[in-house]
Amino acid sequence: MCFPVCGMYVDTVLLSENLTQSCTLSERDFAVLWRYMEEDMSVDAVAGSEGGVERAIGLALLEKDADATAQLSSEVENILAFVSEVQSVEAGEVEQDGGAVNVFRDDVVTVEAEKYREGMLAQAPASFKRWFLSKKIL
Amino acid sequence: MQYEETTARDMRGLLDTGKVSAADLLREARRVIAEKDGAVKAFVEVFASADEDAMRADTMLKDGQMMPFTGIPIAIKDNICISSQCVTAASKMLEGFVSPYDATVIAHLREQGAVLVGRTNLDEFAMGSSTERSMYGTTYNPHDTTRVSGGSSGGSAAAVAMGAVPLALGSDTGGSIRQPASFCGVVGLKPTYGTVSRHGLIALGSSLDVIGPLGRDVDDVQLLFEVLRGESTQYDSTVGVFAEVGQAGVPEKVIGVPDTLSSVGLSEETLRAFSITLDRMKEKGYIVREVSLPIMEKAGAIYYIIQPAEASSNLARFDGVRYGHHEDGADVWGDYMQTRSGGFGEEVSRRIVVGSYVLSAGYYDAYYKKAVAARRAMRQAFLEVLQDVSVLAMPTTLDVAFVEGAIQDPIAMYAEDRLTLQANLTGLPAISVPMLVDGLPRGVQFVGGYNSEPVLFSCARDVA
């Protein structure tokens, strides 16, 4: 079964030297990919289906033991109670405007990525040629 | 010359007349650091490369290429990138990371021939109000080393207050320049959002972050601001066209004092100092008027939704793959989770969880969308009031610097920024300048219209 490699995390993942090529997936890997796509390619699948703060801990890609989770959940719930005061602000009639933005800037990317490539790769935990290396995703 | 008390302008005069060299000033800066920083812990690194900066500055001086900051020692907050130097944001997540490029503000300082003395401590990723939450440990207040220096630019404020440098760079997302400036008795400016390039600043809240100067006096801070400001060609949000100072029709020398100040929890001593300061301003021809700004009190609720939301997004890049801290898990998700759980400190973890929560499906409308609308309402309320007064005035902090460890509860710590968050939420400029009262330092803060920094400098000068 052939399936095109999506752009997902393509900058951080070494799949092959030619990332635009199709690759062959096993039936099992295809099922994993399909499930991931069905779930809007979000990290919700990783976060689990619990509600509230525990789910948010998963969405933040943090892993805590039971005690630390309980402590963090309690603190975050207190913060959420604190910020819920925002509901009392009467803001319905306020129109959105641009604020202090530069509307005259050319829409071009001026960062010279190539200039810093070597320095950045040298500091990566793992790299290969001109890519960052991570564990296999699929 | 008493180095610890000399302003950058006076140093300029001494350098230009050949009475001292840039190398002499650097030697003095290192002497003060050696004498005092053991107790204060403002610096996380003193740069060996500063010798090269000083040599270059002395060559520029010899060649007659004097600029305002040629040879002047300046300290840099450790979340601003300096090429070939470590930049960590005081986080284990970035321990040992070497910046491949200069932030735009650093490039401006290099053009001037400034001497970059070292990098200064901060709360991890600039999330905090005390510089206690740093992987390097606490930075103490030079006026009383049992107390904190404030935060998150506590290292920069303490470096100036202990006399190591006449000026330092900090960043301000919710008060991180003004609050430590107030605690340490120095001047701190949070410029209008967009007037100083954020390129090379490790992002916390992109719609709130501003780089700004801290210094021994108002004139020095103004001089440095003039060098830092300007459009950046890099990919960020600098404002390309600077409006004329102030707004047409805005009265001069009219100070607005928000009527909500009586209920925000100011200490009696701070209220008294503020009242004395206003009386002195009246003697100098200012009119002081009470203004109604009830939305000011909602700043904490608005800010602690928007800032964590932006922080959770900005800090998503720290995954242990591209740079910084890495911990091995069973698979790639394990790598991400273990790296982030091991690399981020408690406060950073709290905020990115809050940010993830308020942005998540089911809660987005109730929290984030509502906070964005409330932020717009706050901006509109401030702009309306600033039609009738030239500046708003209020104490920068509720009280003086607190004793290390005195505030453990996160929400109690958030209250430390109660009077500074509004300028970040609205994008307005604000300056903190020490009030002339006995005892530990307390700052008064002036908030003005967009691009009204010259008005703020003028008011701040009149406090002295």
Q: What is the ipTM of this complex?
A: 0.92
B354 contacts A52 by C-beta, under 8 angstroms: no
- Amino acid A11: pLDDT: 34
Residue burial B45-56, b: 16+ Cβ < 10 Å; e: rest: bbbeebeebbeb
- Amino acid A3: pLDDT: 37
Q: Which residue does chain A place closest to B102, by CA atoms?
A: A116
- Which among B239, B76, B250 has a CA at the least distance from the CA of B164? B76
pLDDT at B164 over 60: yes
Q: Which of B36, B77, B190, B253 is catalytic?
A: B77
Query: Using CA atoms, how far apart are residues B422 and B443, in angstroms rounded to an integer?
Result: 16
Touching check for A106 and chain B: CB below 8 Å? Answer: no
Interface mutation vs chain B, best among A13, A40, A86, A101, most B CBs within 10 Å: A86
Q: Which residue does chain B place closest to A130, by CA atoms?
A: B322
Q: What is the share, in percent, of chain B residues with pLDDT greater than 70?
A: 96
Q: What is the mean pLDDT of chain B?
A: 95
- Amino acid A47: pLDDT: 47
pLDDT digits over B14-45, tens only? 999 999 999 999 999 999 999 999 999 999 99
pLDDT at A21 over 50: no
- Amino acid B437: pLDDT: 85
pLDDT digits over B299-319, tens only? 999 999 999 999 999 999 999
Name the β-bridge partners of B189.
B431
Touching check for A70 and chain B: CB below 8 Å? Answer: no
- Amino acid A35: pLDDT: 57
Name the β-bridge partners of A2.
A24
Interface mutation vs chain A, best among B354, B358, B365, B411, most A CBs within 10 Å: B354
pLDDT at B266 over 70: yes
B152 preceded by cis ω (within 30°)? yes
Q: What band does B261 get if pLDDT is binned at 50, 70 and 90?
A: very high
User: Which candidate from B316, B333, B357 shows the least CB-CB separation from A76?
Assistant: B357
pLDDT digits over B393-408, tens only? 999 999 999 999 999 9
pLDDT digits over B444-455, tens only? 999 999 999 999
Q: What band does A42 get if pLDDT is binned at 50, 70 and 90?
A: very low
- Amino acid A48: pLDDT: 45
Please state the rounded mean pLDDT for residues B176-184.
98
- Amino acid A95: pLDDT: 60
Question: HEC string of chain B?
Answer: CCHHHCCHHHHHHHHHCCCCCHHHHHHHHHHHHHHHHHHHCCEEEECCCHHHHHHHHHHHHHCCCCCCCCCCEEEEECCECCCCCECCCCCHHHCCCECCCCCHHHHHHHHHCCEEEEEECCCHHHCCCCCCCCCCCCCEECCEEEEECCCCCHHHHHHHHCCCCCEEEEEECCCCCHHHHHHHCCEEEECCCCCECCCCECCCCCCCCEEEEEECCHHHHHHHHHHHECCCCCCCCCCCCCCCCCCCCCCCCEEEEEHHHHHCCCCHHHHHHHHHHHHHHHHCCCEEEEECCHHHHHHHHHHHHHHHHHHHHHHHHCCCCCCCCCCCCCCHHHHHHHHHHHHCCHHHHHHHHHHHHHHCCCCCHHHHHHHHHHHHHHHHHHHHHCCCCCEEEEECCCCCCCECCCCCCHHHHHHHHCCCHHHHHHCCCEEEEECCCCCCCCEEEEEECCCCHHHHHHHHHHHC
Interface mutation vs chain B, best among A14, A39, A62, most B CBs within 10 Å: A62
- Amino acid B216: pLDDT: 97
Q: Which of B99, B130, B134, B152 is catalytic?
A: B152
Q: Which residue does chain A place closest to B323, by CA atoms?
A: A124
Longest Cα–Cα distance in chain A: 56
pLDDT at B247 over 70: no
Please state the rounded mean pLDDT for residues B355-378.
94
Active site residue B77: yes
- Amino acid B120: pLDDT: 98
User: Which candidate from A89, A104, A136 shows the least CB-CB separation from B374?
Assistant: A89
Q: Which residue does chain B place closest to A68, by CA atoms?
A: B346
* Yes or no, beta carbons of A134 and B411 under 8 Å apart: no
Name the β-bridge partners of A3.
A23
Q: What is the share, in percent, of chain B residues with pLDDT greater than 90?
A: 92
The residue type found at B126 is: A
Query: Which position has the higher pLDDT, A130 or B238?
Result: A130
* Yes or no, beta carbons of A80 and B355 under 8 Å apart: no
Active site residue B19: no
pLDDT at B132 over 80: yes
- Amino acid A20: pLDDT: 37
pLDDT at B347 over 60: yes
